[in-house]
Amino acid sequence: MKNNHISLLTVLLLMLAAAFSRIIPHPLNFSSVSALTLFGVAYFQRKHWAILAAFAATLISDLVINQVLYAGRYEVFYTGFYWQYLSYGLIAVAGILLLKKVSMFRILGASLSASAIFFLVSNLGCWALDSTIYTKDFKGLMLCYEAGLPFLQNTIAGDLFYSAALFGAYALLSQQIPALKYQKA
């Protein structure tokens, strides 16, 4: 098998494992999608594949969660789903800018940036869509962000955990499989 095929398969399998973690029980907002997006943009030559992988992981796991685990009680395309997808697109852009070279400090910075982006975008969406709780002014927006703060801790923890797991696993595999060392998928 060619080196780039081995790299592609390895990246895809690690991303698939991370995506699967979304359908097993976990704390609220402790998710792998931001980390798999960052991992994808770091190791895919074609960056749009990383964005598509993040969207696919979210869509497929939402299908499983909403239609199987919750027996169809929730819509696949729930109100405001596009805010979540927008955040992953912006996280991919941040990853492209921050992870041109992979290092522990760059991964840490990209992971924390991903948490901030998800927090800011998802709460902006909540504020924009909810006319019953938050007033449509700056004060209402700030109240929405304040209400989202308890979830931020798990977002940060999930992004750091899954980034460490994905990038760490790839680094360990690269030590065992020389074909992975300098190849991008």
Alpha helices in the chain (DSSP H): 3-20, 33-43, 47-63, 81-98, 104-129, 138-176
What does the pLDDT read at residue 57? 83
Mean pLDDT across 98-117: 97
- Over 70: is that where the pLDDT of 76 sits? no
Mean pLDDT across 115-121: 98
Domain boundaries of the chain, sorted by first residue: 3-180
CA torsion 59→65→70→76, rounded to 10°?
Answer: -10
What does the pLDDT read at residue 74? 65
CATH of domain 3-180: 1.10.1760.20
Higher pLDDT, residue 86 or 55: 86
